[in-house]
Amino acid sequence: MVATLVVQLPSLHEGGDLVVYRNGELKHRHDFGKKERTAEYLPHYAVHYADAEHALETVTEGYRLVLVYSVCLPSNMRALEGNPDKSMTKELASAFCCMGPEDQLFSLLLAHEYTEKSITGLGFGALKGIYHVRVEALIEANKLAGVDKKLQMFFADLKHDASFYDVGGEWEEDAHKESITWYALSGKKLVAASGAAFELLEP
């Protein structure tokens, strides 16, 4: 999937804007014709990249019908996904060979949330946009690395839950819990653990 197409059929309503963020900041807002007062008479659509951080706001009044399509590459272009940049692959493999004991752990943080069903069903194929490309590049580079330098790659679903209580108008932390679930790149669920603290490392 390379993009998402949102088609709104004619409807009278308030709210429901599509907002797109970049680096946590609002960059685009599409109101599907409400400002021009054409929403109830004409269909409207918006397209955004699959890996764009976005949200559809709540409809506050009236009703609307929206069709959401996943835009995918034609089947005859899928071979391009399996043919990554060879120079980049070699550079990554060389970087693996230079990694020492102090480089035992690093992580690639994902901008999207993925359900357990999508990960276990599709493995790394569930990743969207640039994240799929990056992981695929790491996999290809790993094939060129020496046996003692190959990366062990996993998905890790990290959760941090905290509860608070009110003390005279001030909030005090009551308890917190951390958990992590590991998956193979194939999507197979490996192990889940809770209670132990962990540290996020960015590449």
Please indicate, yes or no, whether residues 106 and 170 belong to a single structural domain of this protein. yes
Contact 16, 61 (CB under 8 A): no
By three-state DSSP, how is residue 16 classified? Answer: coil
Convert the pLDDT of each residue in 75-127 to its tens digit: 666 544 445 556 778 888 888 888 877 777 778 888 777 888 889 998 888 88
The answer to whether position 103 is within a domain reads: yes
User: What would the two tokens of residue 58 be?
Assistant: 């709540």
Short-list 195, 186, 118, CA closest to 154: 186
Domain that residue 187 falls in: 81-194
The number of domains in the chain is 2
Convert the pLDDT of each residue in 9-65 to its tens digit: 999 999 999 998 876 788 889 999 999 999 999 999 999 887 677 888 999 999 989
Query: Which residues have a Cβ under 8 Å from the Cβ of 74 and sit 6 or more positions away?
Result: none
To the nearest whole number, what is the mean pLDDT of the chain?
A: 82
Please indicate, yes or no, whether residues 103 and 152 belong to a single structural domain of this protein. yes
Residue 194: band (very low, low, confident or very high) from pLDDT cuts 50, 70, 90 = low
